[in-house]
Amino acid sequence: MSLDFKYGFDDFFRDETYCDDFTYRNSPAAIRRFPFPFDRDDYMYSVNMEPHVAGRKGSVFEHTFDVDEHYLSEMRDRARVLASDPLRCQSLPHMTLAGWDLLELIMETKAREYPQWFSLAKDGNRWHWINRPLGIDQKFTFLDESTLPYGPMEYISRQTQGDFTLQDEREGTLWVDAGMVTTQADWSLDFNIGMNFHEWHAPVPLAHEKGIFDRALKFLMKLQQGSPVRRYNWTMTVNPLLDTAPETYPDWGHMRTALTPKNMGHMMHLRVELQTLYRLPRSNAICFDIRAYLGKFEELVTVPKWGRRLHRVVRDLHPDLAAYKGFLRNRDEMTQWLSQYDDGQPTSPGWWPED
């Protein structure tokens, strides 16, 4: 039993790469729906969580799990990363039930929200899953691992954009005890697995002192099934690399030194993480979905409001944050390039292209 994809690339699902020749780009429609994360002209940490409810039609908030034009290429990139490093997907033995919870959540939701692409039929615990874009037709027994080619978390997350971690709740905190992590901003699942909430956030500057993590943990411990929440996080990535793992840093770190004023618009990407959190029903675990969106600077500045705002945020960011996000080295050049798109006009509140 294996999970062989038959990629259905077409007019919507783009055939593109996140390594080597880096053919990834956003269509004009994808630029318009890009989740631009700055609702004002400056940035500092906050516990910026809100209910994960259906949002504006066409936006990344329209559906629970956004499936976009990059879906198939992203899944192909995940398979490539896992083939080179299987440690990117791990689950401690007590987390299998949470994996089934996740599989159920994703299959039920996608079949309901995207019936043209996914379907799920149930006869008791005998389930039939169809994923048309990836060419999958799988009959299996829910809660019986022997009927799937991978454990439940790995099976479903190989077919779903976004990294996933599953947190067990005990001793008054959350423990990152399972995960599928191939599109991360420089953190290692293999190193962090088994850590509690404060431990895995240890390297983040400034936020501990501001009490961000104490408050975020309190908030998350009260998370209820059926009421997911979301927030944004962001960083900068040179080249459209989904996989910026510490494991492979010697392979991609040098790309940061290749930026010039000429290639800035094409090579530098705003990397936005749409993070959503779900309480899972049987395991009482918390699912953390970290969905990465990459937008080229040259794409983002086609929206005048975003060009003005991105310039101001990058220019004024606290240097500790620029260092943690890995772009202190290039910040001056980035600011210089972006300044062409900032005419000093005021920007409207909120993150939508124009309001």
Partner 1 sequence: MISRPVYGVLEPRPGAVHLIVADGEGAKAVADLVSKDPSILHKSHILYTAGPNGTDQWDSINALGAKQAQKAASIPTLLFRLARVLQDAPMGAQVYLTGTEGLMGQAERDVMALGFPHADIQKEHRGSTMRRVQCVHCKGITENVKTDPFPCSHCGLHLFVRDHYSRRLAAFQGVNIDAEEKGHIPPAVERFK
Give whichever of 88 and 291 is closer to partner 1, judged by the CB atom. 88
Q: Rounded to whole angstroms, how far apart are CA atoms 181 and 289? A: 10
* Region 153-172 residues binding partner 1, contact defined as CB under 8 A: 171
The reply to whether 282 sits near partner 1 by the rule CB under 8 A is no
Catalytic residue among 32, 231, 256, 331: 231
The reply to whether 208 sits near partner 1 by the rule CB under 8 A is yes
Q: How far is CA 178 from the centre of its chain?
A: 16
Q: Rounded to whole angstroms, how far apart are CA atoms 182 and 165? A: 11
Give whichever of 137 and 199 is closer to partner 1, judged by the CB atom. 199
The reply to whether 319 sits near partner 1 by the rule CB under 8 A is no
* Region 323-352 residues binding partner 1, contact defined as CB under 8 A: 329
> SS3 for 76?
helix
Q: With CB under 8 A as the contact rule, which of the stretches 23-31, 141-149, 192-200, 335-343 interacts with partner 1?
A: 192-200
Query: By the 8 A CB rule, do 283 and 48 touch?
Result: no
Of 42, 137, 144, 199, which lies in the binding site for partner 1, with binding defined by CB under 8 A? 199
Give whichever of 48 and 192 is closer to partner 1, judged by the CB atom. 192
> SS3 for 148?
coil
Cα 139 to Cα 20, 109, 125, 142, 278, distances in angstroms: 36, 18, 10, 10, 26
Query: By the 8 A CB rule, do 274 and 293 touch?
Result: yes
Q: How deeply is 171 buried, as exposed, middle or buried, from its count of CB atoms within 10 A (0-12, 13-18, 19+)?
A: exposed
Of 112, 254, 340, 354, which lies in the binding site for partner 1, with binding defined by CB under 8 A? 254
The reply to whether 257 sits near partner 1 by the rule CB under 8 A is yes
What lies within 8 Å, CB to CB, of 142 at 6+ separation is 100, 104, 122, 125, 126, 127
Q: With CB under 8 A as the contact rule, which of the stretches 52-60, 63-71, 144-152, 202-210 interacts with partner 1?
A: 202-210
Phi, psi of 195 (to 5 degrees): -85, 155
Q: With CB under 8 A as the contact rule, which of the stretches 27-35, 53-61, 198-206, 268-276 interacts with partner 1?
A: 198-206
What lies within 8 Å, CB to CB, of 291 at 6+ separation is 66, 161, 162, 163, 273, 274, 275, 276
What lies within 8 Å, CB to CB, of 50 at 6+ separation is 229, 230, 231
Of 141, 191, 206, 354, which lies in the binding site for partner 1, with binding defined by CB under 8 A? 191
Q: With CB under 8 A as the contact rule, which of the stretches 3-11, 52-60, 120-128, 186-194 interacts with partner 1?
A: 186-194
Q: With CB under 8 A as the contact rule, which of the stretches 3-11, 109-117, 124-132, 193-201 interacts with partner 1?
A: 193-201
231 in active site: yes
* Region 46-65 residues binding partner 1, contact defined as CB under 8 A: none
Partners of 289 in beta bridges: 164, 276
> SS3 for 316?
helix
Q: Where are the beta strands (DSSP E) in 26-160?
A: 50-51, 89-91, 118-123, 126-131, 136-141
The reply to whether 195 sits near partner 1 by the rule CB under 8 A is yes
* Side chain identity, residue 222: K
The reply to whether 87 sits near partner 1 by the rule CB under 8 A is yes
The reply to whether 111 sits near partner 1 by the rule CB under 8 A is no
Query: By the 8 A CB rule, do 168 and 285 touch?
Result: yes
The reply to whether 4 sits near partner 1 by the rule CB under 8 A is no
In whole angstroms, how close is the CB of 246 to partner 1 at the nearest point? 5
Give whichever of 9 and 249 is closer to partner 1, judged by the CB atom. 249
Of 120, 193, 286, 294, which lies in the binding site for partner 1, with binding defined by CB under 8 A? 193
Of 17, 27, 192, 284, which lies in the binding site for partner 1, with binding defined by CB under 8 A? 192
The reply to whether 256 sits near partner 1 by the rule CB under 8 A is yes
In whole angstroms, how close is the CB of 253 to partner 1 at the nearest point? 3
Task: By CB under 8 A, name the binding residues for partner 1.
Answer: 87, 171, 188, 190-195, 198-203, 208, 246-250, 252-254, 256-257, 329
Q: Which residues are catalytic?
A: 231
